[in-house]
Chain A
């Protein structure tokens, strides 16, 4: 009996990671909050740890109107221009 495989390996695009920063000292931080209750507050707390330990600066807060969809391309493009790294997260 010959069975077709029901899964797929076809992907529209390859996934890749952004290159790592050379270091964290003095870098600027962006926070991308997903609109869930307390998301911004928690992410800010994480940002403050970077501030305290690595002399970083929280420069901008960005928001997603839909927690379960990717951030708009223009939001990510703006973040890439304005900050050195982004703190974000998933969760309710």
Chain B
């Protein structure tokens, strides 16, 4: 059942004209949307057990609220099937956490986009792609769930480019930035398991992603060689900060790393130790800040922090690393966080269930 007070637009029964109408209203991301016909929204709402007026997220600055109903309307417009809806709802519940700071990460000149990583059986159940062309187009679930996030940020929270979205350059992920973690052949515990959810519960992780960096290495045959190239990407002067990181290892690279017996924690520790720049180097490019260095090196500094070096992040746990992509190709990726520091911290939520913390 939809929101009784929801506003309805009466338009002629002409689909192409309805698509144009959506453009004229300013409801799109620049691409045509599916007109949010009431019947389709009702079908979307049937996949959420809570009342349509239930508030999922609230904008901290304006107080604008995202209801289940409004999320369903935008999900239809993005092209989502109803079974995708629980992922979208869980994603916004995660983004609503104050530490994710969806306002700041969207409004900032930094131009980040919320990256969604879906982990667990639900990803396969709804036909998500965790394989070849992982971050590319072609899969309806990946494409439309990510797109719905942007439409909600725009239409519900009015985060409109040039007005309340001040991205200097933005990034392509702002169209859609949603993938599934690859379970097939993954030697490490899946994220949903590592995050502590009960067996059988899938999760979505949200991360304010500042861009996408392909890390190519076809010659490295040891974990140190493969991860060394990843660490170098993480430490590039354009990205290095106290912020978090997402690293998606290709299956080829994972075979090298995990095949040598390295666990996720070993890879995180190596990356944290090696994704660093000297203080002199940071000063040379004008990026050294005493306050940031002190934050990393104060009394609570991680044991791997080296004097005279500025590491990416505060601890190895700031690096989310897992596997995704096709079987062939020594191409992994690094996705930096938005913000120079701790402005946004990744969050996760279970999909379609409520977990009693007790």
Contacts and interface: CB of A to CB of B under 8 A. Distances in A.
Q: Categorize the interface residue count of chain B.
A: 35 or more
Interface-centre pick from B18, B36, B158 (highest chain A CB count, 10 A):
B36
Contacts of A67: 104, 343
Interface string B35-79: 111100100000000000001001011111111011001100100
B8 A2 contact: yes
Contacts of B36: 3-4, 6
A54 to B, nearest CB: 30
B138 to A, nearest CB: 25
Contacts of B58: 12
Interface-centre pick from A4, A67, A69, A92 (highest chain B CB count, 10 A):
A4
A3 B70 contact: no
A68 B105 contact: yes
B10 to A, nearest CB: 6
Contacts of B107: 68
B64 A5 contact: no
A3 B101 contact: no
Contact of B67 (A10, A15, A37, A68): A10
B186 interface: no
B272 interface: no
B39 to A, nearest CB: 9
A77 to B, nearest CB: 17
A81 interface: no
A6 B18 contact: no
Interface in B101-139: 101, 103-105, 107-109
Contacts of A68: 101, 103-105, 107-108, 339, 343
Given A3-B8, A3-B36, A12 B18 contact: no
Contacts, number: 102
A8 B9 contact: no
Contacts of B13: 1
Contacts of A37: 289
B41 to A, nearest CB: 5
B96 to A, nearest CB: 12
Contact of A4 (B8, B109, B342): B8
A3 B9 CA distance: 5
Nearest to A66: B343
A13 B7 CA distance: 20
Interface of A: 1-8, 10-15, 35, 37, 66-70, 92
CB-based closest 5 A-B pairs: A68-B104, A12-B63, A5-B7, A11-B63, A6-B155
Interface of B: 2, 6-15, 18, 21-22, 27, 35-38, 41, 55, 58, 60-67, 69-70, 73-74, 77, 98, 101, 103-105, 107-109, 151, 155-156, 158, 289, 291, 339, 342-343
5 contacts: A3-B21, A4-B73, A8-B67, A67-B104, A69-B103
Given A3-B35, A5-B8, A92-B109, 8 more contacts: A1-B13, A1-B14, A2-B11, A3-B8, A4-B9, A11-B64, A12-B58, A69-B343
